[in-house]
């Protein structure tokens, strides 16, 4: 009887364990680019074998002034558990972080 209870508990634990989305734990980088141009800005991008990707560019604006800021533009994509590819594009500058994506709620 104890053996049946132990087996039942092990089966329940295995069924309740978090599931890994697709093959994400075995994803490998298939493309990577990076260009750090010093204080003036940067560019980078990558893609992985599980459909995840990102790219971003940063550019120094108003260099040497009181309003100096790094202005950033980019995007990232991933495949959700539902099999849909989600993409977010964004700008981050003096107006803050401004994401956009078809799956994100729109402000009024």
Q: Would strands 69-79 and 53-61 be described as parallel, antiparallel, or unpaired?
A: antiparallel
Bridge partners (DSSP) of residue 76 are: 54, 88
Q: Check: CB of residue 58 under 8 Å from CB of residue 42.
A: yes
Q: Check: CB of residue 86 under 8 Å from CB of residue 73.
A: no
- Does an H or E element contain 15, and which? helix 2-16
Full pLDDT tens readout for the chain, 108 residues: 443 333 343 334 344 444 445 555 789 999 999 998 777 889 999 999 999 999 999 999 988 889 889 899 999 999 999 999 999 999 999 999 999 998 888 877
CA distance 51 to 22: 10
């Amino acid at each position: 009887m104890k053996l049946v209870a132990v087996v039942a508990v092990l089966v329940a634990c295995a069924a309740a364990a978090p599931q890994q989305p697709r093959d994400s734990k075995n994803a490998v980088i298939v493309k990577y680019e990076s260009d750090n141009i010093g204080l003036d800005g940067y560019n980078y991008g990558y893609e992985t074998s599980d459909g995840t990707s990102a790219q971003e560019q940063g550019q120094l604006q108003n260099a040497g002034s009181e309003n100096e800021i790094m202005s950033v533009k980019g995007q990232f994509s991933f495949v959700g558990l539902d099999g849909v590819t989600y993409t977010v594009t964004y700008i981050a500058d003096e107006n803050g972080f401004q994401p956009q994506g078809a799956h994100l709620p729109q402000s009024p």
